């Protein structure tokens, strides 16, 4: 269905993010009626593979607080695609009972609605704990079990298999989350940091120095072992004493100068690793006739908690996660930005930075929250949609069906019907 308008108004495709449990608990027909009829949306973006979590679901008739059956897939995987691979998908209990994704594809097609498959690739504690050799490792050699490493050949093989498997289920798009390196924070529940490491210290402690990352950097001429040792020494200094005042945000040029400039080459290596992995995942999805979109979580890093991101635009911190915005967009065809911002002016700033990095022709998508802390009126959301149109956004996803009150669906409909 999507969102249309006059000849001079950009048509924007629309969908709502949802869990398989939302569809199973409320009923497929009820959710699709709410999304298409009540909110006026053009599709569902269902989590086909997702991480762990505990959430509140205000209108779910089965339960209000749910511990997600995380690190799992919510469809029936094809065992042949994973034959001989070290990493295997974990089937959720829901998918053991019913194939929600297959049912969604059938029901949505009958209603001319799109289905996009929201896929968390590398943030997976269960697989990391079972195969620590596939997880990222810090400069001291400690395994960061929540995050699989994009450089690891076994991880890359799993990504290709998972992308092809999901794409082959009949979805329009594989929407990839967590297909990059991660920071130290938000890796595990009940994380504790009782000493001040500073922004740079936390960045260093989150870098992966596994054997595969080190070898990839060496092939690009980086003195990777020197960098690892310098990283250890800098962190030891920060473990022993507070680092003192630092700038409010990391500067890539200054970070790249670390260890005699070896860090710059390491950052370039990380970005090249992610771009090549995205290209591989998108290629196998395309072979199954599905498009591929890459979610850059930088906007969530800045705005998730408060809806009031500060400092530089989100696009300017993506490098910290090994994300080359233009590179990944070229590799897969579409970049999806996170617009968690209450102020429309801030959203414009962020989208302008993405558009500048992508150029005028590359497709740009957007994820917004039609609820607190980002939005409380249809006028606010309509203003953001107007900015999205002006910035050439082609697809808007609303996060998240199960988390929002049903009244937010009315707000979405009103905003979509408003022209500014």
Mean pLDDT of successive 10-residue segments in the chain (420 residues)?
38 95 97 98 98 95 93 97 98 95 97 98 97 98 97 98 98 98 82 91 98 98 98 98 94 98 98 98 98 97 96 97 98 97 98 96 96 96 97 97 97 91
Residue 364, both tokens = 């740009």
The residue count of the chain comes to 420
Residue 273 lies in a domain: yes
Residue 236 lies in a domain: yes
Distance (Å, whole) CA 67 – CA 4? 38
Distance (Å, whole) CA 127 – CA 142? 16
Residue 217 lies in a domain: yes
What range does the domain containing 365 cover?
Answer: 13-32+40-417
168: closest CA among 87, 74, 81, 85? 81
Q: How big is the CA angle at 220 (ends 249 and 330), to the nearest 5 degrees?
A: 65
Q: How many CB atoms lie under 10 A from the CB of residue 147?
A: 27
The pLDDT score that the predictor gives to residue 169 is 97
CB proximity list for 84: less than 8 A, separation 6 or greater: none
Q: How many CB atoms lie under 10 A from the CB of residue 66?
A: 18
> Which region holds residue 278: left if phi is over 0, alpha if psi is between -120 and 50, else beta?
alpha
Residue 181, both tokens = 């390196």
Distance (Å, whole) CA 92 – CA 396? 28
Distance (Å, whole) CA 275 – CA 84? 25
Residue 7 lies in a domain: no
Residue 236, both tokens = 């030891």
Residue 1 lies in a domain: no
The pLDDT score that the predictor gives to residue 193 is 84
Residue 191, both tokens = 């994380």
Distance (Å, whole) CA 320 – CA 266? 11
Residue with tokens 């086909």: 48
Residue 59 lies in a domain: yes
The pLDDT score that the predictor gives to residue 265 is 98
Q: Are 268 and 220 in contact (CB under 8 A)?
A: yes
CB proximity list for 220: less than 8 A, separation 6 or greater: 265, 268, 269, 272
The pLDDT score that the predictor gives to residue 8 is 36
Looking at the structure of the chain, the number of domains it has is: 1
Q: Are 235 and 204 in contact (CB under 8 A)?
A: yes
The pLDDT score that the predictor gives to residue 7 is 32
pTM of the model: 0.95
Residue 298 lies in a domain: yes
104: closest CA among 53, 51, 44? 44
Residue 401, both tokens = 């069906």
Q: How many CB atoms lie under 10 A from the CB of residue 33?
A: 14
Distance (Å, whole) CA 168 – CA 310? 40
Residue 4 lies in a domain: no
Peptide bond into 400 cis (omega under 30): yes
The pLDDT score that the predictor gives to residue 190 is 74
CA atoms within 13 A on the CB side of 393: 31
The pLDDT score that the predictor gives to residue 358 is 96
What CATH code is carried by the domain that includes residue 250? 3.20.20.80
């Amino acid at each position: 269905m999507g969102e249309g308008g006059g000849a001079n108004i950009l048509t924007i495709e629309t969908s709502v993010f949802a869990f398989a449990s939302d569809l199973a608990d409320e009923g497929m027909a009820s959710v699709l009626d709410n999304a298409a009829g009540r909110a006026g949306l053009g599709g569902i973006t269902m989590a086909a593979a997702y991480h762990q979590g505990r959430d509140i679901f205000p209108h779910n008739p089965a339960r209000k607080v749910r511990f997600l059956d995380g690190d799992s897939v919510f469809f029936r995987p094809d065992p042949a695609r994973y034959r001989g691979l070290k990493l295997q998908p974990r089937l959720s209990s829901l998918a053991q009972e019913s194939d929600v994704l297959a049912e969604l594809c059938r029901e949505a097609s009958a209603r001319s609605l799109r289905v996009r498959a929201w896929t968390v690739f590398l943030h997976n504690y269960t697989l990391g704990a079972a195969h620590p050799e596939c997880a990222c490792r810090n400069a001291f050699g400690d395994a960061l079990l929540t995050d699989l490493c994009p450089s690891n050949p076994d991880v890359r093989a799993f990504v290709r298999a998972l992308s092809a498997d999901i794409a082959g289920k009949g979805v329009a798009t594989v929407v990839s989350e967590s297909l990059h390196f991660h920071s130290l924070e938000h890796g595990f529940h009940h994380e504790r940091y009782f000493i001040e490491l500073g922004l740079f210290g936390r960045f260093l402690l989150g870098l992966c120095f596994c054997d595969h990352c080190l070898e990839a950097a060496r092939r690009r001429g980086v003195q990777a072992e020197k960098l690892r040792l310098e990283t250890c020494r800098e962190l030891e200094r920060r473990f022993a004493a507070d680092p003192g005042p630092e700038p409010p945000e990391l500067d890539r040029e200054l970070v790249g100068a670390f260890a005699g400039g070896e860090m710059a080459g390491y950052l370039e290596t990380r970005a090249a690793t992610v771009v090549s992995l995205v290209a591989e995942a998108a290629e196998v999805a395309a072979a199954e006739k599905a498009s591929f979109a890459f979610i850059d979580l930088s906007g969530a890093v800045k705005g998730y908690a408060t809806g009031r991101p500060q400092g530089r635009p989100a696009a300017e911190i993506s490098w910290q996660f090994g994300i080359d915005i233009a590179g990944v967009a070229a590799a897969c065809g579409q970049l999806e930005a996170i617009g968690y911002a209450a102020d429309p002016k801030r959203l414009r700033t962020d989208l302008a930075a993405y558009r500048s990095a992508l150029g005028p022709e590359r497709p740009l998508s957007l994820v917004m929250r039609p609820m607190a802390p980002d939005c409380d009126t249809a006028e606010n959301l309509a203003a953001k949609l107007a900015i999205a149109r002006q910035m050439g956004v082609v697809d808007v996803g609303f996060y998240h069906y199960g988390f929002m009150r049903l009244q937010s669906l009315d707000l979405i409909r009103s905003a979509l019907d408003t022209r500014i």
